[in-house]
């Protein structure tokens, strides 16, 4: 088994874009690569770049319906009807544009490419910053997502007989991924996200724990608006490692959206990219193949810096992910540091801080009394 790390990207995907007015910027992946190159961090030892291979119809239809895929093909040529709204198409969050299908197939293919590299032993870790479209349902688009690459990647692994631990730390709940595996124990899905009380897609609550064979294998960990790094890491370290130890998967799939960052215009969390650098080493200690994708993140420069930090963590470049002060960093204002990839930490204070920790404690109690008790964790 190789111990290499693959960065999934190509010039082809850089030429495809959402409409200019859309908050979702495909350019973030290319910005991540450029930032890493400028800092001399891209060509890490035992790493390589792999071009994504576009997902084919057979791949896509392992989750999405053929009818829905045909509609995506049609609208991508500019042939639209009023009925397309029924499939979630043509809204501000799911615009119709000419690059829609080519980009979606290539982004989803990037995650499939990563899964296949893990399966054939070419890599132990793979990172597709262009992936993470966890809102797409079998025949409905949502939240900038048209084809659910997370589901397709997990299914590629389960088709090979692998048990998958799917961790999602995007600020938004992965409702499409949840639906795909709600009745299955082949994938243990864990989503840590801003509460559906305050954020789209308005779900992902603690009592959504799966059904049938999947009961107890769908774990939602909603966190309140204003959650900072300390609060996030507390709930993460309390709940995720025991679940990972219990399930003992054959592979780990992890979506890391940078819409968790403080100041993101579409979310309400108070976190920094430090959390990604701190959880990845723990995942790697399990010595399982790891497939990581991007996700949300609507301040492109901050998102690219966060994903660059993810890459250095996956490559084990510990010396490059030190705190900025240890690297001689200078705070410039507007949450920007010169001299390092890590953000300056921010904290919630006073009554807001105590309220956040009270909500988090209640969430921990709910999950321990249901999912943990069910599995005798």
Q: Which residues are catalytic?
A: 135
Structure tokens at 202: 């308005």
Q: What is the C-alpha separation between 174 and 138, in angstroms, rounded?
A: 13
Q: What is the C-alpha separation between 308 and 323, in angstroms, rounded?
A: 15
Percent helix, percent strand, percent coil in the chain, to nearest 5: 40, 15, 45
End-to-end Cα distance, the chain: 31
Q: How many CB atoms lie within 10 A of CB 226?
A: 20
Sign of the Cα pseudo-torsion (361, 365, 371, 376, in order): positive
Residues sharing a CB contact under 8 Å with residue 343, sequence separation 6 or more, in sequence order: 261, 262, 272, 273, 274, 302, 305, 306, 335, 337
CB of 231 closer than 8 Å to CB of 271: no
Half-sphere exposure of 203 (CA within 13 A, CB side): 11
DSSP 250: S
Match 């010169």 to its residue by tokens: 338
Match 């079998």 to its residue by tokens: 138
Q: What is the C-alpha separation between 196 and 198, in angstroms, rounded?
A: 5
Q: What is the C-alpha separation between 312 and 332, in angstroms, rounded?
A: 23
Structure tokens at 162: 């692998």
CB of 187 closer than 8 Å to CB of 160: no
Phi/psi at 335 (5° precision)? 65, 25
Residues sharing a CB contact under 8 Å with residue 28, sequence separation 6 or more, in sequence order: 129, 294, 297, 300, 303, 304, 307
């Amino acid at each position: 088994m190789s111990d290499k790390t693959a960065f999934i990207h190509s010039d082809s995907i850089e030429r495809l874009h959402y409409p200019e007015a859309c908050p979702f910027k495909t350019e973030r992946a290319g910005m991540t690569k450029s930032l890493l190159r400028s800092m001399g961090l891209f060509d890490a030892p035992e790493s390589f770049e792999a071009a994504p291979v576009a997902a084919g119809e057979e791949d896509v239809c392992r989750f999405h319906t053929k009818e829905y895929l045909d509609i995506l093909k049609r609208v991508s040529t500019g042939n639209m009807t009023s009925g397309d709204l029924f499939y979630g198409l043509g809204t501000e969050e799911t615009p119709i544009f000419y690059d829609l299908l080519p980009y979606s197939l290539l982004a989803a293919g990037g995650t499939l490419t990563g899964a296949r590299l893990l399966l054939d032993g070419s890599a132990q870790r793979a990172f597709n910053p262009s992936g993470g479209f966890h809102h797409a349902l079998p025949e409905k688009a949502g939240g900038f997502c048209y084809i659910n690459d997370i589901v397709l990647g997990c299914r590629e692994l389960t088709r090979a007989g692998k048990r998958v631990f799917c961790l999602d730390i995007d600020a938004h709940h992965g409702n499409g991924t949840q639906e795909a595996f709600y009745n299955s124990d082949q994938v243990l899905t864990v989503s840590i996200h801003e509460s559906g009380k305050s954020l789209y897609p308005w779900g992902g609550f603690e009592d959504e724990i799966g059904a049938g064979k999947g009961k107890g294998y769908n774990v939602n960990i909603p966190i309140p608006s204003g959650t900072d790094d300390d609060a996030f890491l507390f709930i993460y370290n309390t709940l995720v490692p025991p679940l990972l130890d219990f399930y003992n998967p054959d592979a780990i799939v992890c979506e890391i959206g940078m819409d968790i960052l403080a100041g993101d215009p579409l979310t309400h969390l108070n976190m920094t990219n430090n959390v990604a650098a701190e959880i990845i080493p723990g995942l790697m200690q399990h010595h399982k193949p790891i497939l990581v994708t991007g996700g949300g993140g609507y301040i492109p420069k901050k998102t690219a810096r966060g994903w660059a930090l993810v890459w250095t963590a996956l490559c084990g470049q510990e010396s490059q992910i030190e705190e900025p002060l240890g690297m001689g960093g200078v705070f410039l204002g507007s949450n920007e540091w010169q001299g390092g990839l890590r953000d300056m930490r921010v904290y919630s204070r006073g009554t807001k801080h105590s309220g956040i920790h009270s909500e988090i404690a209640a969430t921990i109690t709910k999950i321990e009394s249901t999912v943990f008790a069910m599995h005798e964790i």
